Amino acid sequence: MLNNNLYSETLYDTYGQHFTIDKLLFEAGTAHQHLVIFENKEFGRMMALDGVIQTTERDEFIYHEMLAHVPLFAHGNAKRVLIIGGGDGGMLREVLKHKTVEHVTMVEIDAAVVEMCKEWLPNHSAGAYQDPRLNLVIDDGIKFVNNADANADGSFDVIISDCTDPIGPGEVLFSSEFYAGCKRLLSENGIFVAQNGVCFMQLDEVETTARRLGHYMADTWFYGAAVPTYAGGIMTFAWGANNPESRNVALAVLTERFNTAGIASRYYTPAIHQAAFALPRYVEEAIT
Ligand code: SAM
């Protein structure tokens, strides 16, 4: 991981990327994972967990806009949102830009990630943690979804799993048990989305999610966006919806919703929303 002034990602044994550590800002083992935050001349401030790059100031907007705005504009009337993970605060920032969202519960296992990202990556949350609509829960996402009661506590219109890779604490967030819990918490036209790795390098994760998630959702698919520091090509986002029509919202409707929301995006557009669901043949074959 760290040697001299290089951060070498250890996600793969035989392939990888490295970044010069131009300034080390924070490094420690937390109660759950090894956390590093450092400055790199190319990507700005970067955060890594257990040897895997999680987010950078320069390209985070692509990932956070696509994992937040695609389900929210597809749904069209989401009031209650659940974020699992997301400790850097970028997902929370993008979700809260939707003024129609009335409540966000965010369940993050590692309080140190929240606190250190508030301090060293302030532009990610950009004040989102102070929003009165937020209910921040420090807990394991799978414990939360297993214990929450949709009738007593309310269901969610959009659930976003903004988790690490399926290693360490993140592994349970790719399990059938987790997807079953999310299904129980989704409202009638609810939509579940999740980061699901880089399909060219982690196609087995896509196949596994398609099989497991497909057991619970009326419509299971994937969409993509290229995020430069998620090395290896397009990042694949898992999509699970109670209403199959949610994936086929007309461009004119998406455009109207986007214009009404008045959100200044840098990556998301209604056209990219629609195009993102077009998958390479090898990915289509893997998930069908
Ligand atoms: N954008 C990144 C990606 O695509 O890999 C994810 C970023 S975010 C920092 C991932 C978050 O998931 C971390 O803050 C980590 O602590 C959290 N996390 C991992 N396992 C979790 C679990 N079981 N429950 C809740 N949060 C978890």
- Residues carrying an active site annotation: 162
Tens digit of each residue's pLDDT (9 = 90 or more) over 138-186: 999 999 999 998 888 889 999 999 999 998 999 999 999 999 999 999 9
Contact 219, 244 (CB under 8 A): yes
Residue with CA at minimum distance from ligand 1 atom 2: 54
Task: Count the neighbouring beta carbons within 10 Å of the beta carbon of residue 10.
Answer: 12
**Measured in angstroms, how far is the CA atom of residue 85 from the centroid of ligand 1?**
4
Identify the helix (H) or strand (E) that includes residue 178: helix 176-185
Cβ proximity of 83 and 162 under 8 Å: yes
Atom in ligand 1 nearest the alpha carbon of residue 107 = 25
236 lines ligand 1 (CB under 6 A): no
Q: How far is the CA of 252 from the centre of ligand 1 (A)?
A: 34
Q: What spacing in Å lies between the alpha carbon of 250 and ligand 1's midpoint?
A: 32
Note the pLDDT tens digit of each residue in 6-56: 999 999 999 999 999 999 999 999 999 999 999 999 999 999 999 999 999
Task: Report pLDDT for 1.
Answer: 67
Q: Taking residues 83-107, what's their average pLDDT?
A: 98
pLDDT digit string (tens) for 230-263? 999 999 999 999 999 999 999 999 999 999 999 9
Q: Which two tokens stand for residue 277?
A: 């669901």
Residue of 65, 164, 174 with the most ligand 1 atoms within 8 Å of its CB, for mutation: 164
- For ligand 1, say whether the CB of 86 is within 6 Å of any of its atoms: yes
Residue 195 CB less than 6 A away from ligand 1: yes
What is residue 136's DSSP assignment?
Answer: E
C-alpha angle 252-255-259 in degrees, rounded to nearest 5: 140
CB 43 within 8 A of CB 59: yes
Report the nearest atom of ligand 1 relative to the CA of 162: 6
**Whose Cα sits closest to atom 17 in ligand 1?**
85
How far is Cα of residue 62 from the mean position of the Cα atoms in its chain? 11
**Taking the CB of residue 106, how many other CB atoms lie within 10 A of it?**
26
Please indicate whether residue 157, judged by its CB atom, sits closer than 6 Å to ligand 1.
Answer: no
Q: Is 50 in the pocket of ligand 1 (CB under 6 A)?
A: no
Sheet holding 2-3, edge to edge: 2-3, 6-8, 18-20
Question: Could you give the count of Cα atoms lying within 13 Å of 166 in the half-sphere of its Cβ?
Answer: 18
Asked whether 66 lines ligand 1 (CB < 6 A), one says no
Q: What is the pLDDT of residues 190-237, one digit of tens each?
A: 999 999 999 999 999 999 999 999 999 999 999 999 999 999 999 999
